[in-house]
Amino acid sequence: MLPAGGKLEQARKARDPRFDGRFFIGVRTTGIYCRPVCPVTMPREENVTFFDSAAAASEAGYRPCLRCRPESAPGMPAWRGSSTTVTRALRLINDGALDQGSVAVLCDRLGVTTRHLAGLFTNHLGASPKTVARTRRLQFAKKLIDETSLTMTEIALSSGYGSVRRFNDHFVQTYSRSPGSLRKTRSASDGSVELKISFREPYDFQSLLEFYRIRAIPGVENVRVDNLRVGNLRVGNLRVGNAAEDNACESYERSFVLDGKSGHLSVSQSGNQLVCAVQGGSTGSLMRIMGKVRLMFDVDAVPEEINSVLCEDRILRRLVKQRPGLRLPGAFDEFEIAVRAIVGQQVSVKGATTIMGRIADQYGTETEVGRVFPTPEILADLDPASLPMPSKRARAIKLLAVAVADGELGFDMDEQAFYEQLIAIPGIGPWTAQYICLRALSNPDSFLHGDLVIRKVAEKILGVSSEKELINRAEAWRPWRGYAGMHLWRASAD
């Protein structure tokens, strides 16, 4: 539980959307927990309890509100805690580690005891790992019931329950009613799924699209943008539109293969939500897909916290005010991004995109919905001489693929160990490893202090002339140095 009164009570009474998803309100007289923006009659102050997470409210015995739907609230980033073990555990749980596996197996992967992990989760989240996993399954299943036409069996499997019986039992235990009774009338499914993902304002969707557009792998990815509105929404000195208006035609699209089945997804913005449309693929991989999209579009970031730290730097404040909703670009396919980082060494962004397209064309798999990037197993067997790049970089890609395919290098590893194993591969230096950590691990504090563009912009804007000076200056930007780097990159583009 969180302390009563103060800022949280003010946010509750104001129904402040900035705090949506950052805490939850348990109402003792009803046994229900709500979002701060819940439109129901305001309960009395003495009857409410504040919780750090939905899982904590659930563990305390409260059930989710059917009116404000806590499962639809913007999420909280896994990086918010100071424990790297909790961060790794949350990522593994989001990947389904506890859907079929045990907490003991999870602890073995993390290298800690079950007692130690339970203590960390209690301190950082107010709930046990099992409750966090159960709440995640319940929330995703409730979202599918409300927003899709999937059958209850499909929803149960998509949400990681493993069986319809477990699914039904959990809903009856939580809501005192069956899952089917919570569904409004919906038409038959056409095989596609469309889900809404909430984020906190401000949100610079156009900057993310532009970042992905110039890096989109031909045949694998496609980005549709309104060129008049890219960047700072200006053509010359003329402002041409509002970022939150008329963006239905702007989207990111890609093909994928998960759990042995191919599919296609598109992500667009509608008001203060993203809309993710998925066609094909395995029903059981739907929650993983949504998790990847959430990381890729950084929807769980809290701009107020990030900007308050960065704005303490007087000069950086100017950049933040120009783009207060700037987000970190993540990765749908971590291995794909790691290869991209190697390819991008000492070549232009356009040149790297061309090479990535050739690799996808030569080694990728063609499916009925589009081409997918080659897997680590495929690139582990390639002849480095066949790649259109210097031999050292080509060998680095092969060695990376071998390490990932053999399980020696995993994107769920401790970040420091992951970084050290990366730079131990011949042909991968600090810049490449930092870029992979920034995008594939979605670490908001990864800072590319050796990046040529960032150093040039830093020298021009910040008056920092050496890499050592830049590293020292960036200490004040922790733990959001990744966002500071994105602001410097954008300043160069602008």
- The catalytic site residues sit at 34, 451
Supply φ then ψ for residue 457, to 5 degrees: -65, -40
Separation of alpha carbons 238 and 121, rounded Å:
51
Separation of alpha carbons 489 and 429, rounded Å:
20
Separation of alpha carbons 224 and 363, rounded Å:
25
Separation of alpha carbons 487 and 491, rounded Å:
6
Separation of alpha carbons 173 and 233, rounded Å:
50
Name beta bridge partners: 274: 197, 269
155-194 as b/e, with b when 16 or more CB fall inside 10 Å? bbbbbbbeebeebbebbeebbeeebeeebeeeeeeeeebe
Token representation of residue 331: 């990765």
Question: Is residue 23 packed enough to be buried (19+ CB in 10 Å), middle (13-18) or exposed (0-12)?
Answer: buried
Please tell me the total number of residues recorded for the chain in this structure.
494
Gyration radius from the chain CA atoms: 23
* DSSP annotation string for 321-349: HH-TT------SSHHHHHHHHHHTTTS-H
CA distances (Å), origin 480, targets 52, 307, 314: 21, 9, 16
Separation of alpha carbons 327 and 311, rounded Å:
16
Token representation of residue 64: 């989710």
- Residue 51 DSSP one-character state: E
Nearest CA among 393, 444, 395, 380 for reference residue 415: 444
Separation of alpha carbons 8 and 28, rounded Å:
17
121, 128 contact by CB (below 8 A)? yes
Q: Which H helix or E strand runs over 116?
A: helix 114-125
